A = this chain, B = another copy of it.
Amino acid sequence: MNEKYYIKFKDNDIPKYIQIYQYFKKNIDRGIINEGDKLPTIRQLSKDLAVNKITIINAYNRLEEEGYLYQKMGSGTYARRKNSLKMIKKQYSETFKNLNRQKLKNYIDFTGETISNSFFPVDIFRKILNDVLKRDGIDALTYQDFLGFEGLRKSIIRYFWQSRFKKDDVLIVSGAQQGIDIIAKGLINNNDNIVVEKPTYSGALAVFNWKKTNIFEIEVEPDGMNLESLEYLLRKKKIRFIYLMTYFQNPTTVTYGIDKKLKLLELAQKYEFYIIEDDYLSELIYDESIEYRSLKSLDRYDKVIYIKSFSKLFLPGIRLGYVIVPDKFKESIENAKINSDISTSSLMQRALELYLNTGHWVKHMEFLKSEYNLRYNYMKKQLYEKLNDFIEFCEPGGGLNFFIKLKENVNISSMELFQKCKANKVLITPGGLFYKDYTEGNKFFRISFSQTDNESISTGITVIYNILSQSIK
């Protein structure tokens, strides 16, 4: 058989069929074996490698299960090149497409990115909606100013920016995802060079990929992006935008230090790029040593495009957020918004405004902070107690997630861990989703305590323990 399928068995502790499986997987992932390449027959390969046929069958079965090869009737076995990120995203998202709400209730869901519904004050909100309809009548349901409902924009400036900006600086959008989308549409061109954190939010990666930009990833350290690597890149390439999350970065949970923030702004000025700051969950700070100072609030050079979501903290079904962009970009962004969906749903903007102005928002955030602080500490304790032999993580000090690294002794990829957890009715988020090349996320996964009470946190982490303790080298 072909030279390239010669496999040298190195490790006597790993079954041969696993070594064969790994060999093909690695070579297909790296493009050494290409889509559609014919693989040797079982008989041929067992002869070449001097192993039992059943060993080859086991290896091929596992490859087929994972989508790395396929059979053509009467013709043989062929390699399938898995389109890295796209493939893994598909496998992951189909889990949720196939689990409707009813089925999802039987799972322990560590994948949540938003506040649990159980914390939402439905009755207060129903009253607010009625008050809005009584107060504004038909106006509540019709188009408003193209920037969004004026009252909400005023309240945002007053509550969140101490009137540092003007109401017309704010553009209301249908959630942070739309913010990223219209920024890409209005400001970014094909082939622009864009920097993202490594790893980063997959929804942003998808938009930048779609826009056919050149994406450069810069490693995230415990206090934010590695600025030496960044400046090295800035000297070599004309970078137009950097997309980042300053608080509890998704997925790493890292928060930027003040020095890094100031340095980033200086770099933006020096190298003439703009920073897209996705302000993600910064309301949920549990560690009192963490101070809230957004990049936008520190920005003396008008270099920051600021995106804020209300959906994550308030209610995911209410698609609301806003952006504040440098003056020179305003018109482009406004046009991109109009061409995307004309404007954001009117009633919900008015409801949020009243919710802010009647003091409910502040009270609700205090409540969420204290509840999630408890869950945060409980999950942290569980992770240390049960998984200490298998994992490492940095304590985020806020937010809704932990980002976990599998230790060297653990012999399982996070995608396999995801599959095994799923089979045991526990859902986690595999790290591959957050990298351009998904294999770089093999050692990482994210778990969230947003949807789980202490009991399910305990049960779920025990499930993970059982799987990991069977995966030790």
The residues of A with any CB-CB pair to B shorter than 8 Å are 96-97, 100-101, 117-118, 120, 122, 125-126, 129-130, 133, 137-146, 174-175, 177-178, 181, 185, 190, 203, 206-207, 210, 212, 311, 315-319, 335, 338-348
A318 to chain B, nearest CB (A): 6
Query: Once the chains bind, are A177 and B339 in contact (CB under 8 Å)?
Result: yes
Query: Once the chains bind, are A207 and B339 in contact (CB under 8 Å)?
Result: yes
Q: Give how many copies assemble into the complex.
A: 2
A144 cross-chain contacts in B, Cβ below 8 A? 317
Q: Can you list 13 A-B contacts with CB-CB less than 8 angstroms, sorted by A residue number?
A: A96-B146, A101-B139, A117-B142, A118-B138, A122-B138, A126-B130, A174-B174, A177-B338, A178-B341, A181-B341, A317-B343, A318-B345, A319-B341
**Cα of A130 to Cα of B122 in the assembled complex, Å:** 12
Say yes or no: A319-B344 contact (C-beta < 8 A), given A125-B141, A138-B122: yes
Please classify the interface of chain A as helix (H, G, I), strand (E, B), loop, or mixed, using the class held by over half of its residues. helix
A399 to chain B, nearest CB (A): 19
Query: Once the chains bind, are B100 and A145 in contact (CB under 8 Å)?
Result: yes
A125 cross-chain contacts in B, Cβ below 8 A? 141
Interface centre among A138, A311, A316 (most CB of B within 10 A): A138
Query: Once the chains bind, are B130 and A174 in contact (CB under 8 Å)?
Result: no
Query: Once the chains bind, are B339 and A206 in contact (CB under 8 Å)?
Result: yes
Identity of the chain B residue whose Cβ is nearest the Cβ of A142 in the assembled complex: B317
Query: Once the chains bind, are B120 and A316 in contact (CB under 8 Å)?
Result: no
Q: Which of these, B181, B185, B207, B342, contacts A319 with CB under 8 Å? A: B342
Query: Once the chains bind, are A97 and B146 in contact (CB under 8 Å)?
Result: yes
A347 to chain B, nearest CB (A): 7
Task: List 3 A-B pairs, minimum CB-CB distance, nearest first.
Answer: A317-B346, A178-B341, A142-B317
Query: Once the chains bind, are A210 and B318 in contact (CB under 8 Å)?
Result: no
A175 cross-chain contacts in B, Cβ below 8 A? 341-342
Say yes or no: A122-B126 contact (C-beta < 8 A), given A339-B203, A340-B178, A341-B178: no
A29 to chain B, nearest CB (A): 23
Q: Which of these, B138, B140, B181, B319, contacts A339 with CB under 8 Å? A: B181
A45 to chain B, nearest CB (A): 35
Identity of the chain B residue whose Cβ is nearest the Cβ of A185 in the assembled complex: B210
Query: Once the chains bind, are A138 and B117 in contact (CB under 8 Å)?
Result: yes
**Cα of A175 to Cα of B319 in the assembled complex, Å:** 14
A339 cross-chain contacts in B, Cβ below 8 A? 177, 181, 203, 206-207, 210
A118 cross-chain contacts in B, Cβ below 8 A? 138
**Cα of A295 to Cα of B185 in the assembled complex, Å:** 31
A328 to chain B, nearest CB (A): 16
**Cα of A142 to Cα of B210 in the assembled complex, Å:** 27
Query: Once the chains bind, are A120 and B138 in contact (CB under 8 Å)?
Result: yes
Query: Once the chains bind, are A141 and B315 in contact (CB under 8 Å)?
Result: yes
**Cα of A341 to Cα of B338 in the assembled complex, Å:** 14
Identity of the chain B residue whose Cβ is nearest the Cβ of A207 in the assembled complex: B339
**Cα of A122 to Cα of B139 in the assembled complex, Å:** 10
**Cα of A316 to Cα of B341 in the assembled complex, Å:** 11
Say yes or no: A317-B181 contact (C-beta < 8 A), given A122-B138, A174-B341, A339-B210: no
